[in-house]
Structure 1
């Protein structure tokens, strides 16, 4: 499919781009309601594993969101209140997002893999007043709700259940007249919990503008979307990537979303859907592409697909080549964080340099700096940083909520530091080196080692543990635990399995260590802190 891309001359677009942020902005009112003026404009094409298909227009979703706004208001949810939503890829997830943005409530999405303990931590930290979830996750909420004093509204998508308001029942009965709240551009709108290397997850706050306007560049330039596209993003609804690529990016451009509701990623089913439905653009984690290329791609014909992107971790050159050989399409990388929009990418008009994350996104000055905030010459490794003075770009988070010290620690002079390391080459391409802290990125999930170590330490066999990333063919990197056993325990395959299962129970299943090595000692600093970097370097020696 030949057509003109949204960006044809990188340097020109980059030089001329200007952010335009009005004082008042509401994504639902200013963007979605505009698309909804055409009653037939498709917003969502939803399918599941049982052959069910539902299509929703912008007009329908906007109407449902107004009904939900009235329900939430009746339940006591006010502007600025936090609503936590834990849901798989159900249509209601989008309705909830649109409604919260519309009424100025702060939406906090979470993955369905969270445990009751994780949920309690989120309810309390965010002072959440409302939880909206489905049948599978309601029992987890019930396990802790008596100890969560701020929660007053419990809404269930699915069955009728004692102590829960049934979503369908109340939304269908509610009035669809609701005046969109006149939110300021800098009003809080979204709250993510992000894993760090120490302590519990931090609360990352975005405003109406930072994601609502910020992701305009993600949708237009990186995803290269226009009004007639059908965009498929493989991300779980619990992660910021869903906001990037399943909501703000595409809908800023008026593109429709293709959604496959399934309990687990199935390679063959995904490829079959890609062939069966008129999907034009695809966004997936590198793990998905690594699995795609193990299949016989010559069996498939993706006739409508014109553009594919990957994000979450660097993609191996051989995968890019194999995919292109069989589909004729290059996989274009993009880079950003929960705290940001798309900061850099291999935009359609740029040459793909396998392994590079591309060039800075229009609207952002992205450089590699040293510890004093000086821009480093090309070829030198340093910290990836975004210029925030004299002008702060849209698309950066507002703060780590209730944690001013942590927020302050991300700034160095005129720069916001991403916590990632890179090298910039002579042509301005960025090459990812690694994280300056110890966060592990496995299959697109951010995992803080501290959380896994803490879980392991609760098991009687574990005296001490250190968790780092370890190279893995399929997933890029996986979680590996080095464990010193408590007296009386012997290392064995059975114990490895027991510890893995234990971590899955205590914390979210995706965090469990896929590799475990029993050791007699761990490298430490003089003050007794484990030197994870030493273990990590040992793991990766000869791999990079």
Structure 2
């Protein structure tokens, strides 16, 4: 059963039935174990070759053991658990064990520093932490409450209990009768968003969030139970559950997890795609931009049938090169830590290169002004999602312990995403930027993405980030930070050539009046470019 055949019909008819009680661990993973027990997970170690396979039955037993560990430690439904576990199978034991018990996992990436961890533990009033390997050393100077449970995976440290010992003692049997049932409205998971101007907010999802990701997996990722799906993502951010957990296992798809090293190796990733028979693939734009710089003709992509991307819009030039070699179009999708996939391109619809696509089944999405009135076609406004009473399946319940931020996001019956776009006459959405990324220069409004897309078509440009930089004459000018492809060196001649290229590719007023060549761009842990960091750096420079 593939993706929808008729977009309009699916939009009209689709809905998700929400049961009164729901538990992803029992109702999905354990049910799959009983009915088909096929391979749920292919885990690949850092070298790209060593691997292990896990069935749904394996995951049922592993998660039962961890749920029993938590019970033994006195955890109850509603307790928050800080989870700092990278791309290893233990992540699944921990996450699914939490779900079964109604404990709320708060995944975090291992790159966080001590002060980041301290903030998260205190803000969430965490009841404990499960931490992998030497990341435990970051907890050395942190003060935690007396009843705070510390569990260390693959590491010995004073004051920490050993995960392997606890799991060996715990039973692998767990009945639903042994735990307090979870209602569909009970909390499921908390994610910390990437903070740009202040501390990260805590995004709280209830149990229906898992059900909402059926939309992500079924329509945008186009999955069936026969697929082998690989989403590139760290376990510490929301994309992991978008592509390695909820929607995929609702359908019964096999997922791939690769224990990627800190440095992205494009050749290794292409070998995994080829050697493990990956049929559907999801990667952020950063990864695609690096993959297309390789000699793609060396690889066999015959098993790959569907490619998707999310995180930031993908430049048309990258889409063209990927299709040329893999024969798959990259279907862009849009969503946030706060949502499931809400706007996307689908196989049943024509793709307009550079467009976000159309709203996903199950959602009313529109481009609106500050008061939630619809904007005219081709005029930029807020991307907003209908969320009457804040109980829309697939949309978060609010920012945990932050009523002010929640009220700012939900008003007039809509959830305001904080992103801007415009909609054309055919109903396709076109991303402009984060509300605070839009550049106002010489009376014009310029979206950084459209300039970056033009830059991407220049043969010397590997990556770019565009911001508004302060300027005495114009107030603000368009400035581009550019990472060059190997073999190119920055020069005044190259700057002029790139500027002329952009003038020919898009409206002349959008060209970058300043270009700075850099070795790399600042990014969030999820691979999104942090333009706010570049703006702050530029403002500080010009101030001094």
TM range (shorter): 0.7 to 0.9
Which one is further off, 420-429 or 159-168? 159-168
For residues 84 and 479 of structure 1, the distance between their equivalents in structure 2, rounded to whole angstroms, comes to 35
Q: How many residues align?
A: 466
The Cα of 1:161 is off from its aligned counterpart by 2.5
The equivalent of 1:322 in structure 2 is: 321
The equivalent of 1:535 in structure 2 is: none
Q: CA 1:399–1:436 in 2, change beyond 3 Å: closer, same or farther? A: same
The equivalent of 2:497 in structure 1 is: none
**Structure 2 spans left out of the alignment, 5+ residues:** 440-454, 471-518
Please tell me whether residue 263 in structure 1 is matched to residue 261 in structure 2. yes
CA deviations over 1:319-345 (Å, ceiling 9, x no partner): 101111111100000000000110110
For residues 91 and 519 of structure 1, the distance between their equivalents in structure 2, rounded to whole angstroms, comes to 44
CA deviations over 1:124-183 (Å, ceiling 9, x no partner): 001111111111200002231xx2227611111103332211112211221122233410
What pairs with 1:267-346 in structure 2 (closer than 5 Å)? 267-346=266-345
The equivalent of 1:12 in structure 2 is: 9
Checking the alignment, whether the CA contact within 8 Å between 1:275 and 1:301 is kept in structure 2 is yes
Q: CA 1:188–1:518 in 2, change beyond 3 Å: closer, same or farther? A: closer
Equivalent position SS for 1:93: helix
For residues 247 and 236 of structure 2, the distance between their equivalents in structure 1, rounded to whole angstroms, comes to 16
Residue number among 477, 480, 499 corresponding to 2:465 in the alignment: 477
Residue number among 156, 159, 165 corresponding to 2:161 in the alignment: 165
CA deviations over 1:368-395 (Å, ceiling 9, x no partner): 0012211112211100000113784200
TM-score, structure 1 as length reference: 0.81
Checking the alignment, whether the CA contact within 8 Å between 1:48 and 1:260 is kept in structure 2 is yes
Q: CA 1:168–1:413 in 2, change beyond 3 Å: closer, same or farther? A: same
For residues 414 and 236 of structure 1, the distance between their equivalents in structure 2, rounded to whole angstroms, comes to 33
Residue number among 15, 19, 25 corresponding to 1:22 in the alignment: 19
For residues 302 and 164 of structure 1, the distance between their equivalents in structure 2, rounded to whole angstroms, comes to 45
The Cα of 1:199 is off from its aligned counterpart by 2.1
Equivalent position SS for 1:351: coil
CA deviations over 1:219-266 (Å, ceiling 9, x no partner): 111111111111101111111011111111211111011111121321
For residues 215 and 359 of structure 1, the distance between their equivalents in structure 2, rounded to whole angstroms, comes to 17
The equivalent of 2:513 in structure 1 is: none
The Cα of 1:87 is off from its aligned counterpart by 1.6
Q: CA 1:76–1:519 in 2, change beyond 3 Å: closer, same or farther? A: closer
What pairs with 1:209-248 in structure 2 (closer than 5 Å)? 209=208, 211-248=209-246
Equivalent position SS for 2:116: helix
What pairs with 1:180-219 in structure 2 (closer than 5 Å)? 180=176, 181-209=180-208, 211-219=209-217
Which one is further off, 237-246 or 385-394? 385-394
The equivalent of 1:420 in structure 2 is: 419
Equivalent position SS for 1:14: helix
TM-score, structure 2 as length reference: 0.81
The equivalent of 1:493 in structure 2 is: none
Cα RMSD, aligned residues only: 2.7
Q: CA 1:520–1:244 in 2, change beyond 3 Å: closer, same or farther? A: closer
